[in-house]
Structure 1
Amino acid sequence: MPPRKKALPRPLPEGWIVTDAEKRQWRLGKMIGQGGFGLIYLASPGTGKHDEDEAEFVIKVEYKENGPLFSELKFYQRAAKPADIQKWMQVKRLRFLGIPKYCGHGIVEFDELSYRFMVIERLGKDLQHIFEKQGKMFKNQVVLNLGLKMLHVLEYIHENEYIHGDIKAANILLGFKDSNKLYLADYGLSYRYSPNQIHKKYEERPKKGHNGTIEYTSIDAHKGVAPSRRSDLEILGYCMLHWMCGKLPWEQYLNKPELVLEAKTKLMEKLPESVTQISPHGAKCGEIAKILSLVKKLGYDERPNYHMLQKILLDGLKETQKDFNDFLDFSPVSEVEAHGYCLYNAKENENSLEKHKKYKKKNKTEENHFNKITQNLTKELKPRTTQLLTKKKYAEDECNKLTGSDRQYEDEYLIQQANDDQIEFSWRKWCLLLVFLIILIVIVTLY
């Protein structure tokens, strides 16, 4: 019974020898992964056994009737010839361009089933693995550098009339022996947008809508429109936003594609404010907003200004005092260490905003109460304050009489004060004597 189209193939035995179209032999090692429709094995050239830990190649296998590996193979054969890539790097003055090296392909029969295989260089861990291990947060400079490296790759494949169509962290891999090299891999959904230099026409096909990875797929893809250069750039913008912020505003709607489309449309319509609102404090999301703003203005068949897009990220990278060729620091960091405090998605933003409003309202009430008390106290104390100020002024005036120019009268004042006290004492003495005499007379009279 022939295999069902798009079914995951039955595993091939380890150690199996396959021969490619150029009559080169390859030995299959252990299986190290699988995609939607294919399997991935370590591989070594020749028939002899090699140390798998040092294997420099992998073989991707799927049923011959399937399509993704065939599309990927055609991309490598047409657009990713090693000589063409090397020439492009020289023209653009690049040290490295992140497209995996194609090594061969062929058809193999096993257990009465036909398999298509393709040999490419071995790559290391994918970016999704690192992203999740770090708690879904990358540093500013890492995100800007990632975006810049992917822009260089996209410019190359676009100039060769191809669209990648499925940019995401799972399809971006580190070099096997050089963690500073990044490769945009898996061209199973690659698409020729301009065969014979005639661009595909814009046509919405709702029945084919929402194609691709729902988190990142473009607005055009949601509408069933064939992918274009602006689609790839839009997808990259969403990826960078995710890497920078940790989440996307539409993550809670992933099981409802129409709501995801609505959220993406709203984000694109309200740029750059929409990006700024979900950006962590201190994050360089301004560059992402600028890129998405330029993408928004692009026509469906218009060639992007890659130089301008790259310059936006390069300028942002320079502000972090990092260089494009610097080592990519994927060391784990906390949210605060990466960017500062962040309000991630719309729901969290709404809850935090509501808490802020309540806190602000409470503070306003307390502030008004305090102001009222202050006003009442001021009203009550004002007359008393005026009275005290008047007395203070009088006392100061009296003191001034004894100082300064009036100092010469101080002795006279003291002598006069002493005389007054003596006169007052004499008057009191005579009054007491008179009272005593009156009492004495009354007593004598009664007896």
Structure 2
Amino acid sequence: MDLLGPSLEDLFTFCSRRFTIKTVLMLADQMIGRIEFVHCKHFIHRDIKPDNFLMGIGRHCNKLFIIDFGLAKKYRDSRTRCHIAYREDKNLTGTARYASINAHLSIEQSRRDDMESLGYVLMYFNRGSLPWQGLKAATKKQKYEKISEKKMSTPVEALCKGFPAEFAMYINYTKGLRFDESPDYMYLRQLFRILFRTLNHQYDYTFDWTMLKQKAGLSLSGPTPTTIAGAGLAQGGQGQGAF
């Protein structure tokens, strides 16, 4: 059992539902690393969303953890490394807002889908909302269909308009991956690391909420710690993401 701090969704709300590019890029680096670690253990998460990423507490207050493996699935045999078969008869698994387009199309999910979902999470942080939020429908099925239609009809460039080109590059890359292809995690991290340096930011772990809490005189650990079983899996990856 591990004690963890607030989720990124909690912190996003705390920051008036908008993160600066600096915070988004520092988070992106750690998020890619956490997802890569899950993938290297032969599992896909299948529910990448802000609620499932929690900050640590105490000396780990700047470290990101990924939680909730209730929808996770083994995508390859750990001994033979044989990948699961491609199928087109799967129900949507995960959260529709961040689901990949292939997941909406009932295609079996693989590593590419976790990575595409992360792209939508990053744009949610940048924009404050996604174009397919708030759609009304009589049933959940109809709502999912509307979300799918809006997502597919929204060009990546339109989704990322007004933000650095690297975000569109990231999403386009993930959407171009083959079903059983391994994402180039380091390429994706470097994409954002180079942008971070180009913007002359310092990787000082000063997130948007860090400054707000300091101004308000609040504990940097945030809300009451959350007890999570099995959160240790999320501690892997390549460090905390210092550039």
The reply to whether TM is greater than 0.5 is: yes
For Structure 1 versus Structure 2, the TM-score category normalised by the shorter chain is 0.7 to 0.9
Contact map agreement 1:167 1:235 (CA 8 A) in 2: yes
Alignment-derived partner of residue 136 in structure 1: 17
1:151 has 2:38 as partner:
no
Alignment-derived partner of residue 150 in structure 2: 263
Per the TM alignment, residue 325 of structure 1 is displaced from its structure 2 partner at its CA by: 5.4
Alignment-derived partner of residue 307 in structure 1: 186
Higher share of residues assigned strand: 1
Match of 1:275 among 144, 159, 169: 159
Per the TM alignment, residue 252 of structure 1 is displaced from its structure 2 partner at its CA by: 2.6
Structure 2, unaligned runs of 5 or more = 138-142, 213-243
> C-alpha separation between the residues in 2 aligned to 1:184 and 1:323?
24
Per the TM alignment, residue 171 of structure 1 is displaced from its structure 2 partner at its CA by: 1.0
Contact map agreement 1:220 1:231 (CA 8 A) in 2: yes
> C-alpha separation between the residues in 2 aligned to 1:244 and 1:157?
25
Alignment-derived partner of residue 199 in structure 1: 83
> C-alpha separation between the residues in 2 aligned to 1:300 and 1:266?
22
1:163 has 2:163 as partner:
no
Contact map agreement 2:71 2:93 (CA 8 A) in 1: no
Taking a change above 3 Å as real, the CA distance of residues 203 and 137 of structure 1, as seen in their structure-2 partners, is same
Alignment-derived partner of residue 94 in structure 2: 212
Larger RCO of the pair (alpha carbons < 8 Å, separation 6+): 2
Per the TM alignment, residue 308 of structure 1 is displaced from its structure 2 partner at its CA by: 1.1
Taking a change above 3 Å as real, the CA distance of residues 224 and 276 of structure 1, as seen in their structure-2 partners, is closer
Contact map agreement 1:191 1:227 (CA 8 A) in 2: no
Higher share of residues assigned helix: 1
Contact map agreement 1:211 1:224 (CA 8 A) in 2: no
Larger radius of gyration: 1
**Aligned AA for 2:194?**
D
SS in structure 1 at match of 2:6: strand
> C-alpha separation between the residues in 1 aligned to 2:145 and 2:118?
21
**Aligned AA for 1:244?**
N
**Aligned AA for 1:327?**
T
Alignment-derived partner of residue 196 in structure 2: 317
How many residues were matched structurally? 203
**Aligned AA for 2:134?**
Q
C-alpha root-mean-square deviation of aligned residues, in Å?
Answer: 1.8
Contact map agreement 1:218 1:231 (CA 8 A) in 2: yes
SS in structure 1 at match of 2:168: helix
Contact map agreement 2:160 2:167 (CA 8 A) in 1: no
Percent of residue pairs identical: 32
With the length of structure 1 as denominator, give the TM-score of the two structures.
0.43
Taking a change above 3 Å as real, the CA distance of residues 226 and 276 of structure 1, as seen in their structure-2 partners, is closer
SS in structure 2 at match of 1:125: coil
> C-alpha separation between the residues in 2 aligned to 1:175 and 1:224?
35
Contact map agreement 1:254 1:260 (CA 8 A) in 2: no
